[in-house]
Amino acid sequence: MKNALKLLGVITIAAALMFALVSCSDGSGGKDLVSITVTPPTKTLYNIGDKTLDTSDMKITATYSDGSTETVSISAVNISGFDSSTAGIKTITVRYKGKSVFFTVTVIDPNTAATPTATPPAGTFTTAQSVTLTTATTGAAIYYTTDGTNPTTASTLYSAAINISATTTLKAIAVKDGINNSALLTAVYTINDPSLETAATPTASPAAGTFTAAQSVTLSTATPGAAIYYTLNETDPTTESTLYSDAISISATTTVKAIAVKDGMNNSALLTAVYTISEGSGGSTDTFASIAAFKTWLDAQPANTAATAYNVKLNVDDLGGNYDTTGSLGNALDTNKTKYVYLDLSDSTITTIPEYAFSWCTSITIITIPDSVTSKV
C-alpha cells in the first residue's frame, strides 16, 4: 500500500511539472527565437509636433531555430525612439522577446529646409566615392562646396553624384523659397589607398596653447618634399587652401588646421592647433598715467599666475630709476612679485631705460618698449 502511494505521489508530481512546463510555453512549440526583421512603415517623414508614429503598414517577422517564421502582431512588440520635439533623423527600436531591430524616420521643421544627407555617409575609404546628396524637403535645391568653405546660394548647385577621389570635406545646405535654409551638412571623406604610404601629420611650433602675446607659428612635416596647406578660419584645409611657406603670425585667438600633401602618397591626417591669445588675463586693460597710480592699484590686486597676468598700459615719461629706487616702476613690480603683469609701455614717451630698471622683476610676463627709447643708462 505504501509503495502504491509513493508511486501515485511521483505520478502527481510529474503531472504537475508537465503542467507547469506547458503553462510557461511561449507558444512556439519549444523553438528558440533567433531574430526579428522589420519592414518599415511607408511613412518615414514627420513634422515637428507630430504625436504618433504611423505603424499601420509596418510588418515584423520572427525567425525561429527550426527555420520557421511568423508574422508578429504590432501589439506584441515594444516600439521606442520616436521623438518629434526636434528636427532630425530618429532611430526607432522594435523589441520582441529579447530581440531588437531598428529603422529610422525623419522629423522636419516645416518652416526650415531639411538638412541634406550624403550617401555613402562620411568616413574613411580605400577607393574614390560617388556621393549623392538628398533632402527630405520636397522642391528644395542643394548647394555644396568641396573646398572647406561654407556653401551659399552662390556655390555649386547639386545636380548629379559628386566624385570624391581624394580626402575632401563636403559641405551642403538645402534652400527653398518661403522657408529658412537648412542647417549645414559637413561630411569628411578620407580616401586612403592601402597600397600607398601616408604623409606625416604636420606639427606646429610652438605647440597649441594659451599665450599672453602674439605668436609666430611654424609648420613642418616629417615627410620630405611634402607640401603643407593650412587654414585659419576653422575650415578643414584642402589643396585649394593656403600653401605654407613661412611662419604664421597669430595675434588673436586662432585655430590652425593643416595637412601634408605629396604626390604618390595619401594626404596626412589633420593637424588642429588652437592658439588662445589672452594678453594676460584676457580681461580689460587698465591704463595709468603715473607710476604712483599704478603701484597703488597693483598693491590692491590679488596674486595671480603668469597665464592670467594683468593687462596694464602705462603712459609715463620716466621710469623713475632702478628697481631698488622707491617710486620707480621697477620697485612697484619688485614689491609685488606674486602679481604677474603684461606691461605695455608703447604709448609712453620715455627715451632711456635705467640699467637695472627691471632686475629681479620676475612678475613681468611680457613688456612692450616704445619706439621712443634710444638708450640705456
For the question of whether the overall pTM of this predicted structure is more than 0.75, the answer is: no
User: Do residues 192 and 126 touch, judged by C-beta distance below 8 A?
Assistant: yes
CA distance 170 to 155: 12
**pLDDT tier at 377, thresholds 50, 70, 90:** low
Residue 164 has a pLDDT of 93
**CA geometry: angle at 43 spanning 37 and 46, to 5°?**
120
Q: Is the pLDDT of residue 15 over 70?
A: no
User: pLDDT digits over 62-72, tens only?
Assistant: 999 998 999 99
User: pLDDT digits over 323-370, tens only?
Assistant: 889 999 999 999 999 998 889 898 899 989 988 888 878 888 888 888
Residue 342 has a pLDDT of 86
Q: Is the pLDDT of residue 14 over 70?
A: no
Name the percent of the chain lying above pLDDT 90. Answer: 54
Nearest to 33 by CA among 78, 75, 72, 59: 72
Q: Hey, where are the domains in the chain?
A: 33-108, 117-191, 203-277, 286-376
Residue 64, amino acid: Y
**Coil, helix or strand at residue 341:** strand
User: pLDDT digits over 101-145, tens only?
Assistant: 999 998 988 899 999 999 999 998 999 999 999 999 999 999 999
What does pLDDT average to over the chain?
86
**pLDDT tier at 279, thresholds 50, 70, 90:** low
Span 174-197, average pLDDT: 92
Span 163-169, average pLDDT: 89
**pLDDT tier at 24, thresholds 50, 70, 90:** very low
**pLDDT tier at 223, thresholds 50, 70, 90:** very high
Q: Is the pLDDT of residue 93 over 60?
A: yes
Strand partners, 126: none
The secondary structure of residue 150, as a DSSP letter, is P
Sign of CA dihedral 209, 213, 214, 216: negative
Span 199-219, average pLDDT: 89
Span 231-260, average pLDDT: 90
Name the percent of the chain lying above pLDDT 70. Answer: 89
Q: Is the pLDDT of residue 27 over 60?
A: no
Nearest to 95 by CA among 81, 112, 83: 81
**Coil, helix or strand at residue 361:** coil
**Coil, helix or strand at residue 15:** helix
Q: Which residue has the higher pLDDT, 227 or 31?
A: 227
Q: Is the pLDDT of residue 186 over 90?
A: yes
Residue 96 has a pLDDT of 93
Residue 325 has a pLDDT of 92
**CA geometry: angle at 59 spanning 54 and 61, to 5°?**
150
The secondary structure of residue 264, as a DSSP letter, is T
Residue 369, amino acid: I
| Residue 12, phi then psi, degrees to nearest 5 | -65, -45
User: pLDDT digits over 298-331, tens only?
Assistant: 998 888 887 778 888 999 999 999 888 999 999 9
| Range 33-108 has CATH code 3.40.50.10860 | no
Q: Is the pLDDT of residue 25 over 50?
A: no
Sign of CA dihedral 319, 321, 325, 330: positive
Sign of CA dihedral 96, 98, 104, 107: positive
Residue with cell 517577422: 61
**Coil, helix or strand at residue 77:** coil
Residue with cell 515637428: 48
Q: Which residue has the higher pLDDT, 176 or 370?
A: 176
Q: Which residue has the higher pLDDT, 296 or 28?
A: 296
**pLDDT tier at 373, thresholds 50, 70, 90:** confident
Q: Is the pLDDT of residue 283 over 60?
A: no
CA distance 319 to 328: 6
User: Do residues 258 and 198 touch, judged by C-beta distance below 8 A?
Assistant: no
Residue 12 has a pLDDT of 44
Exposure string of 324-349, with b = 16+ CB inside 10 Å and e = fewer, is eeeebbbbbbbebeebbbbbbbeebe
